[in-house]
């Protein structure tokens, strides 16, 4: 009787095993060195393109976030499976308003700050991992977007995240963003943040 093959999902092959397996003599130390060299070169190129002699394009917007109520712009869609007051594994979504000023009544809308967030840290600081699309619906960059990725440890401190791409005027964009909480413009249910994008396009 021919033995049945093991299911594919039981066959775990780790990258180090794949590169050093004796059944694959071609995948030896020289190839591993080449792979590491290519990865290092890619990182070096990315760093160089993000620091182009101080000529990064700077874009400033103000994010208005409503925490609760019928007009809430963020919500938790999945609670932590650990229960209680645990946050690890919590997932949420947000669709905050972007404007050109601190106050809604005296500023114009520029776009939306749309994304996902997940609590990915087990330490005291929860480590809020965010993936965000900045969608410009008005102003100079109407129709363009910026994509950001990064972790937030403290929303009341200055937050930096990586700009990893974009569309329209920001195709192939690279850079970073700096977000700062503005307490004097915030209320009990509405937080206001100043966001500066520094982008190489």
Q: What was the pLDDT predicted at 140? A: 95
Q: How far is CA 151 from CA 122, 126, 148, in A?
A: 13, 10, 10
- 133 plus 109 within the same structural domain: yes
Chain segment 74-88, per-residue pLDDT in tens: 999 999 999 888 889
The alpha-carbon radius of gyration of the chain (Å, integer) is 22
**What is the Cα–Cα distance from 107 to 174, expressed in whole angstroms?**
28
Work out the number of other CB atoms within 10 angstroms of the CB of residue 78: 12
- The tally of domains found in the chain comes to 2
Percent of the chain with pLDDT over 90: 61
- Residue 7, domain member (yes or no): no
Give the residue-averaged pLDDT of 157-179.
96
User: For residue 53, how far is the Cα from the chain centroid?
Assistant: 25
Identify the band that residue 34 occupies on the pLDDT scale cut at 50, 70 and 90: very low
Residue 179: pLDDT over 80: yes
- CA torsion 35-41-43-46 (nearest 10°) is -140
Q: How far apart are the two ends of the chain, measured CA to CA in Å?
A: 63
Range of the domain at 40: 12-49
Least confident window among 27-36, 92-101, 163-172? 27-36
Q: Tell me the pTM.
A: 0.72
- Residue 1, domain member (yes or no): no
Work out the number of other CB atoms within 10 angstroms of the CB of residue 22: 7
Arithmetic mean of pLDDT over the chain: 80
**What is the Cα–Cα distance from 201 to 96, expressed in whole angstroms?**
25
- 189 plus 100 within the same structural domain: yes
- 18 plus 112 within the same structural domain: no
Percent of the chain with pLDDT over 70: 72
- 43 plus 139 within the same structural domain: no
Residue 125: pLDDT over 70: no
- Residue 30, domain member (yes or no): yes
Give the residue-averaged pLDDT of 116-144.
91
- 129 plus 146 within the same structural domain: yes
CB 96 within 8 A of CB 73: yes
For the domain that residue 96 is a member of, what is the CATH number?
2.40.480.10
Residue 121 burial by CB count (10 A; 0-12/13-18/19+): exposed, middle or buried? middle
**What is the Cα–Cα distance from 161 to 156, expressed in whole angstroms?**
15
- Residue 2, domain member (yes or no): no
Identify the band that residue 43 occupies on the pLDDT scale cut at 50, 70 and 90: very low
Q: What was the pLDDT predicted at 124? A: 63
């Amino acid at each position: 009787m021919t033995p049945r093959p093991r299911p594919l999902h039981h066959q775990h092959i780790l990258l180090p095993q794949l590169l050093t397996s004796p059944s694959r003599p071609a995948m030896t130390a020289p190839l591993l060195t080449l792979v590491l060299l290519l990865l290092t070169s890619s990182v070096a190129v990315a760093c160089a393109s993000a620091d182009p002699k101080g000529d990064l394009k700077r874009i400033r917007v103000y994010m208005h976030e409503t925490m609760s109520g019928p007009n809430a712009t963020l919500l938790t869609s999945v609670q932590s499976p650990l229960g209680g007051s645990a946050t690890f594994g919590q997932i949420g979504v947000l669709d905050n308003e972007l404007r050109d000023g601190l106050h809604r009544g005296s500023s114009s809308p520029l776009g939306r700050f749309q994304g996902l967030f997940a609590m990915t840290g087990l330490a005291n600081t929860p480590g809020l991992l965010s993936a965000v699309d900045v969608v410009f619906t008005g102003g100079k960059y109407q129709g363009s977007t910026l994509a950001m990725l990064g972790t937030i440890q403290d929303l009341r401190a200055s937050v930096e995240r990586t700009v990893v791409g974009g569309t329209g005027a920001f195709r192939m964009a690279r850079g970073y963003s700096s977000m700062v909480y503005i307490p004097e413009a915030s209320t009990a249910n509405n937080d206001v943040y100043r966001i500066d994008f520094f982008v190489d396009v």
